[in-house]
Every structure is written in structure tokens, then in C-alpha cells.
Structure 1
Amino acid sequence: MIRLRWFHIHSWLALTLLLGMAPAAGAGLDVAVVVSQRTGPHAVFAQAFSRAAASLGHRVFDAGTPADGLDDVALARADLVIASGDAALSAALRLHPRPTLAVMIGQSRFDGIRREHPSWPLSAFTLDQPAERQLRLLKAVLPEARRVGVLFGPEGADRPAFERAARVSHLELAERVVGDESELMRGLEAVLRDSDGLVALPDALLATPASVRSILLTSYRHQKPIIGFSRAYVGAGALAAIFTTPEQVAGDVIAWLRTQDGGRVALPPVRGPASFEIAVNRQVARALGMSVVADEELLRLIATGDVP
């Protein structure tokens, strides 16, 4: 498997430069960080963010985890609360109504939590890659593709974006909405029969270990490639994936934080990641009898929307 880091707008180079810059104008913010877990990607995000934010003159406080308990004082005084993961977000929203930015969370999960707190000052940097970016990766690794299969979760929130992106990419969608686990196999078989490849989405229903296993095994039986949403998905058998690392999420948040003048926080609109990486499983490509273009060319094709 070959992994490539793509520095889109806010790369590690940009983050490195930020670390060397002078503090932001005006008084720094009090930023409380709540993480879902002390280990893994949430810890990586918190460490990268805290170092960079402190270098800009902001005061960053560890506000705890759902398992260990939250620091009520830190949350009450915070100008901004950053919650890493859905467990951290749910826990933080049970306390003080401070401006809250969710990170390291999928769009569908964030939307569900936000509906429970409609009046809360709340936004997110989600992990969901733009539909057009995902379809560009599909076309880059499978230039002859004409129909792409997509399974949507019960709410199908991504459907309009994928329909627009498919038109731009001159692709037809073979799509199904999966209402619950019992409908997964029927919907999966239908889209695989009627498509050249499948784009797997990080929907809460479709991204469970059991669902991922079923998707991988069934797609391989149909000899159809999968575009996944994580490095682990590629390691498990997807042809390729496009995803954002915790460090890149921290870089995106820092870039936004530099726009704040130290006064009242103006939360950004909910947005997906600016920075991303790709991973390609060349073993899977050989097993499917596919020839995938060179790594640098893949990145160029994603950036331009050209086809090989």
C-alpha cells in the first residue's frame, strides 16, 4: 500500500509556518478542548492543535473526557470549546452553552447531535470529503468508469451533493438508501451489479465493522473496486481512499482560528476538510487486473479533475 500526503490549502508546511509566526492580534482566546479518548486520533489532534494554538497566543485548557469527567470551570470560562469526536461533543453540550466547534466527526453524526441542540452556538469541521473530490479519485484510478455505486444511510443527507458531483464528473449514479442493517446486502448487491465501482461513505450505519466487512467481501466477489474513507479501509481491501489525518484537521482549525481577533468568536459554517491524503492498495489493483497511474499523477488528476 502506498500512502501519499496531499497538501491542499492548509498543509503541514503551512502549519509549520504558523508555529513560527507571532501571536494573533488582540487578546488571545481561552480555548477548552474536550476529547472523546485520551489515546488514538483524538489525542493526536489535541496535541497538534494545542501546540499551534498556544504559539498564536491563545490559552488552551484540557477540559477532560467523557470517561474521566469534564472540567466545569474550564468550560464555563471558555471563549471557545473544541470537542473532538461525537462522545466529546455530546458531553460538552450537556454543560455551558459556549461557542462550540466539533472536529474529528462525520457529517451525519454531527447533524444528529445538532438537531438535539438547535439553539446552541455550534459548528463543525467534519471528516467527510467533498463528493466531487471522492469522484475525482474514482475517475483517476478507474478512468473508464461510467456508473458509480453509492449506498446512503437512512437520512441520505449526502445524496444531493453526490448527484451534483456526478453530473459534473459525467458519471451516472447507481444509488440505494439503506434504512437499517437488514437492507444492507440487498442494496449492496443492487448497486454493485449496476456500477463500475463503489464509493463507501462514513455513515454511522454503513461504517460499522460488520458493514465494512460485508461491503469488502461482496465487492470483491463482484470484482468491483471500492473507494474508501480511511487508511484502514484500504488496508482491509479497498482499492483506494481519500481521508484527512488528525494533524491536518488541527492545521485547518488553526487556519480558521487566525481569522479571530481575540474578541467574540464568530464560528465558521460547517465545512469539510481542506487538507487530505490518499492511499492506494496496489495489491488489490493487481488482483482486480487494474493498472493504476503513478502516485504523483493521481494527485494531479484529483486537483484538476482530468482523467488519465
Structure 2
Amino acid sequence: MPGSDAARSRGPALAGGRRAWWLPFLLLALLALPVGAAPPPVVVVADPESAHQQAFIQGLQNRLEDRREGRAALERRSPAELDRIDPASLVIAVGERAGAAVAEQRSGDWRLYGLVSWGAAREWLQGDPRAAARVVEQPPRRVVALLVDILPEARRVGLLLGPSSRHYGRRLRSALEEAGREPAVRQVEDEAGVEARVEELFTESQALIVPADPLVINRRTAVPLIQGAYLRGVPLLGPGRSSVRAGALMALHTDPAELGREAAGDVYAALTGSAPAGHRHPRAFRVVVNYGVARALGLAVPPEGELYRQLQEGRP
């Protein structure tokens, strides 16, 4: 057509023949838009020699990979390498040694403490809105519900507490009172006092709860404490599966790997802009019963699966 070559040579035009003079400026503006900001580094601080801590980290990493959160490649540091952490990092401190070091320095922009006690988490989270914790202890009402399900006639319940379990023990005491039980509490400040305090509880209590506390129950104290309860016919609710293997009647247990998988939800939330705060107890758990001890104590204890379903229905 006549004039068509000339029209094309004038470049892009709008309907009506006006030249689209603004297109080059639009392209420049689009090129100037920022590309999505790189996600912050995710740094795990842990003891490489601890099997429990490594299981937690593996569970965390597996769950992040399941979410296809490719941005969450984990950098690993020891507690002695905190000076190498980028201030913009999301820092996951696994275990109480790493937690204490990270809390002291306020490493990173957001901190998650995992595989730690409720007492330690309570201390580290005070005054730190950019921190959260995944604690090892079970919710107090869940613990008391298990005891009531297995020992409905036990009214007087002993609590043996140490420095790390003192604050958690207060919540256990409240849960026992809510359930109509009479808690007898003994607090120890050093390992030498464990034997005397537990002897008092054996005479005063129809059942005994011993939360996790490295001063109260450790390699030196666990066997005499657990065997003493067995010999005196006092059912013992221990702090985890290993205590049941050693002779405690029962426990609630969450594997370190499962705690790591639950912690991945917090990390994912922090990566997507809604960093959580506060502490959380385990959601997943297992009921563990030593049926040999139950028979020796003359107790008819329901199957673990049935006890688990009862606790799930009550959702303490």
C-alpha cells in the first residue's frame, strides 16, 4: 500500500496514528524495578558431637525440603563461631549451650531456640521480641492427664524439681490442682540434696512426677531415683523414653527429629515475613509405658495406643 513503508518507519503507534513515545520510558522503568530481595541466611548453631542435636537438625532440614523452601539452605556454626554470623540471619540455636551463647550475643535478626528446657527459654525470651523457642517439655495438662488416666486413685502427687525445672514445675503444680490432685513439691539446689528430698516424697506421695532437669535426673541419680520408686511401690512418671527403659512406669516422649520438623514451621514463617515469638511445647508425642513395672505394681494399664487416643481427644 502507498505510504505503508513510511508509516512503519515512524515506529510503534497508537490507534489513531499517534506515536507511542512513552514505550522506551516504560521499558526503562521496568528495568529499574528491584528484583525480589535475597532471603536472609539461615544459620544453625549446635554441637556437632551431639546425636540428639543432629537428629533435630536433620528433621528440620527434611521438613524445609518437603515444603520446597529452596531458599532455606542451612549454614552450620558451632557456639564458638558466632562472630561469623551475618546480622541479618535467622539463627537456630540447638541445645542449651548454643542457646545461652546466642541469647547472650543476640546473634542474627531473629532467633529460634530448639531442644531447650522451658526454664531456659523463659529466661532467653524475656525482653526479646525477635525470638521463639521449641521446648522439650510436654504441656503440663497433657502430663497430668496421662497420670490421671493411668492412676485415677492417686490423689497425692509428688514433684521433684531442680533449678532448670523450677518454673515449669509451677505450671505442673497448677495443672495438678486443676485436676483435683494434692501436689507435694520438693526443690533441690544441688545434686547432694536429691536423695533426701526424694525419700520425703516417697513417704508422702501416691505417685511421683520428675520433669527433665540435669541436676535432678542424670547418669548418677537416675538409677537410684527410679529404682527407689519401684522398690517403694510409687509409680513414677519420668521425663522421657529413656527413663521408662530404666524402670519408670510411664512417660510422654517426642523424638528430637520430630521437634526439628515442628521447628521448621517457625523457620518457614520467619522466611515468609511472619516471624513467630514465644515458646511452644511439642505437638506430636508418644505415650511410653513399662508394662513389666506396671504388672509388678499391680496396675492394669491400657495399651499405649488407647492412652494416646484419650490424650488426643482431650487435647491438653
TM over 0.5: yes
Q: 1:163 to 1:39 in 2, by over 3 A?
A: closer
1:9 aligns to what? none
Match of 2:153 among 144, 149, 167: 144
Number of residue equivalences: 276
Matched, 1:242 2:252: yes
Match of 1:289 among 293, 298, 302: 298
Match of 1:179 among 162, 166, 189: 189
Match of 1:57 among 55, 70, 77: 70
Match of 1:35 among 46, 58, 63: 46
Structure 1 unaligned runs (5+)? 1-24
- Shift in Å at residue 299 of structure 1? 1.1
TM-score, normalised on structure 2?
A: 0.78
Question: Residue 303 of structure 2 aligns to which amino acid in structure 1?
Answer: A
User: Could you give the per-residue CA deviations for residues 79-126 of structure 1, whole angstroms, max 9, x where no partner exists?
Assistant: 3100110122234346563221110111234445x29x9668433111
For 1:38 and 1:184, how far apart are their aligned partners in 2?
29
Higher Rg of the two aligned structures: 2
- Shift in Å at residue 294 of structure 1? 1.9
Structure 2 unaligned runs (5+)? 1-35
For 2:234 and 2:100, how far apart are their aligned partners in 1?
38
Contact (CA 8 Å) 1:84, 1:102: kept in 2 or not? Answer: yes
Instruction: Give 1:205-284 correspondences, 5 Å limit.
Output: 205-260=215-270, 262-263=272-273, 266-284=275-293
- Shift in Å at residue 221 of structure 1? 2.1
Contact (CA 8 Å) 1:29, 1:262: kept in 2 or not? Answer: no
Question: Residue 243 of structure 1 aligns to which amino acid in structure 2?
Answer: H
Contact (CA 8 Å) 1:63, 1:70: kept in 2 or not? Answer: no
- Shift in Å at residue 181 of structure 1? 2.1
TM-score, normalised on structure 1?
A: 0.80
Q: Which has the higher contact order (CA 8 A, sep 6+)?
A: 1
Q: 1:96 to 1:192 in 2, by over 3 A?
A: closer
Secondary structure in 1 aligned to 2:212?
coil
Q: 1:305 to 1:71 in 2, by over 3 A?
A: closer
Contact (CA 8 Å) 1:104, 1:125: kept in 2 or not? Answer: yes
Q: 1:212 to 1:243 in 2, by over 3 A?
A: same
Instruction: Give 1:87-98 correspondences, 5 Å limit.
Output: 87-93=97-103, 97-98=107-108
Contact (CA 8 Å) 2:87, 2:107: kept in 1 or not? Answer: no
For 2:292 and 2:37, how far apart are their aligned partners in 1?
53
Contact (CA 8 Å) 2:226, 2:247: kept in 1 or not? Answer: yes
2:212 aligns to what? 202
Computed over aligned residues only, the root mean square deviation of the Cα atoms, in angstroms, reads 2.7
